[in-house]
Chain A
């Protein structure tokens, strides 16, 4: 009889012999070990902090902060809580990073394309820019722009005055602040309608071009609608905006909107620095597109600009996006150098002043790191989505 050794009888095979069960088992064990270690570390830390007399917990976030911050996108003064300082700092970090990313992308693309220009002077100038900027530490550049900007600007009493509405001095650039009056909602509504209209027109124009080959001047018409419609609404409703014009009061200008020199210097430095790297990425992306593509486009009669825009760049993007993502991440992280020139970013405000006033280093640093991690992951996530959209689609 053969029943001493039944081949592959399921009822008899032991679960630990099943590779799938085993894999799950080991993963559960690994997870348990990690969770246990993490838990022990936290327990230990809390116990040790307690025994050393170091305060713990997040209760401090509700206490009143008691210090001022020079720039805030949300209402803030010294009577607000430490928790609020976290958001003030976070928004300032996000603001300068977003401004930097937009500007560095535009400048980087221009320089990257210029680097490949057949015009000798333009190509060499771009090369010089890239080499100089890339090889000087970013911190030095931030200091340079900050003090260069500050020293070349006049004092508040000798401000550069443009028509009595714009003022520039070493405390910043002062602009009139538009304050919406009743009726301004119409202007906003008109803007929304204009945006929808432009999207619809673009779709329609594309379809018509595919069907008939006729080209519609989408860009010109689009801009016209975007500006014209809200402007019309503004005029019809009788100009429901009031301008808060800055004026010299005591030490300085009051009223209006202020662009502080710290923000300007940090923005310029981050933009110039990152743009140099982006330029090289763009150049390598363009060079990666095979020459045949350009030649084919030319053979179809497309001129230089269209060849670049419609044929080369879209293909280059596939090479450009992944390294571009890491430049965006670098810029975001470099923005924490803000603290060197007193721009009130998250690190300066929260991990600086708040940490020192409360002494809760572990909590504050953990929160700050969590922010940098989260935002970095978000940037990667969205860039990956974009990458997928730009990737070669196999049809």
Chain B
């Protein structure tokens, strides 16, 4: 009943906004400034991406993506409030205006981009779907999973990829669909399923939650492309541009070697690219409706993309993920941002 109510309430709010006449509100940027903070939709708890600690302070790469937007607007990365959302609730929350940005481990797909009235602003993590399986089953490749029972989370691309993969390989499976990743892991741990499937970045973290992590292994197969990134409502191009270019600024900063530590020195740099990024030259900020030094504030408060990555999911963190695809294009990855000029 509770789920029915939350989802129905979300839809009711959405319906409320939709039924109201066309009193088009001011721009999202104005509304955010007026509120004094950014409202950002995140997961209900996913290590490395968005997770609250015991004091209610949120950390993660998706969280930092929102903090960077707040830093750009307010010059203060703390002016964000977070709304935890399940996979099912997320899009309704954005459509209804409950949140300003959705930064919740969300895969960019055509259907989501084109039919939900939403826009993806970029990719802050390139992921792919994988499998976690009980070791004693003895399977070493996903192609051997015919007939398996699979635990998945509702409302995700994971659900669809799974069906596609099994169909394409002429295999059968039984899906057990849970609402949160917590329940999904419990279902797997209690033996209800042979396999758990989710974005690969999560498998290691989910595995570490098991009573005996060594009882499960991650299969080598990656069965899908999961470009994860922030999402905004369609129809406010200024806001779309802001969220898009905040992430680009972080990626460009890494490419230019600007970090939160050296950013004050870099202000004196005579590299025109760095000058435009930090606002010591040009009017990049004004074009977006942001303060001239928005780039400086982002890097100073949150750091460049690489710093954000290493702090939350990189080697040495509990997720311990190599950069891989997420390395800069100059270093063998595909992280690439258009020039700021």
Contacts and interface: CB of A to CB of B under 8 A. Distances in A.
A267 to B, nearest CB: 17
A66 B164 CA distance: 7
Nearest to A47: B22
A348 B192 contact: no
Given A51-B235, A52-B117, A67-B160, A356 B15 contact: no
B22 A347 contact: no
Nearest to B4: A336
A395 to B, nearest CB: 44
Given A150-B190, A254-B147, A352-B88, A342 B1 contact: no
Interface in A35-71: 41, 44-45, 47-49, 51-55, 66-70
Contacts, number: 170
Interface stretch (A17-25, A120-128, A194-202, A359-367): A359-367
Contacts of B21: 44
Interface in B151-196: 151, 154-156, 159-160, 162-164, 166-167, 173-179, 183, 186-187, 190-192, 194
Contacts of B154: 339, 348, 352-353, 356
A222 to B, nearest CB: 40
Nearest to A155: B191
A170 B191 contact: yes
B1 A333 contact: yes
Contact of B3 (A67, A138, A339): A339
Contact of A54 (B116, B149, B155, B178): B116
Contact of B191 (A51, A69, A150, A333): A150
A139 B235 CA distance: 40
Interface residues of A, number: 57
Contacts of A66: 160, 163-164
Given A66-B163, A170-B190, A251-B149, A361 B14 contact: yes
B235 A337 contact: no
Contacts of A51: 22, 235
Contacts of B22: 44, 47-48, 51
B15 A151 contact: no
Contacts of B17: 48
Interface in B7-21: 7-8, 10-11, 14-15, 17-21
B155 A250 contact: no
Contacts of A369: 8
Interface in A307-347: 333-334, 336-337, 339-342, 344, 347
A339 B137 CA distance: 28
A147 interface: yes
A42 B24 CA distance: 18
Contacts of A344: 177
A359 B115 contact: yes
B173 to A, nearest CB: 6
Contacts of A138: 1
B163 A67 contact: yes
A351 interface: yes
A342 B187 contact: yes
A336 B3 contact: yes
Given A68-B175, A340-B179, A171 B8 contact: no
A147 B149 contact: no
Given A52-B95, A342-B177, A353-B159, A365 B8 contact: yes
Interface string B219-240: 0000000000000011100000
Interface residues of B, number: 61
A249 interface: yes
A220 B234 CA distance: 71
Contact of A45 (B19, B92, B160, B194): B19
Contacts of A70: 174-177
A362 B152 CA distance: 25
A236 interface: no
Contact of A262 (B87, B164, B176): B176
Contacts of B20: 44, 48
Nearest to B176: A342
Nearest to A261: B192
A147 B190 contact: yes
A132 B1 CA distance: 21
B341 interface: no
B11 A365 contact: yes
Given A68-B163, A353-B155, A359-B112, A54 B117 contact: yes
B111 interface: yes
A70 B176 CA distance: 7
B91 interface: yes
A78 interface: yes
A177 B111 CA distance: 41
Interface of B: 1-4, 7-8, 10-11, 14-15, 17-22, 87-88, 91-92, 95, 111-112, 114-117, 137, 145-149, 151, 154-156, 159-160, 162-164, 166-167, 173-179, 183, 186-187, 190-192, 194, 233-235
Listed from nearest, the 4 A-B pairs whose CB atoms lie closest are A54-B117, A356-B155, A52-B117, A55-B115
12 contacts: A44-B20, A44-B22, A45-B19, A48-B19, A53-B114, A53-B115, A54-B117, A337-B3, A339-B154, A353-B154, A358-B115, A362-B14
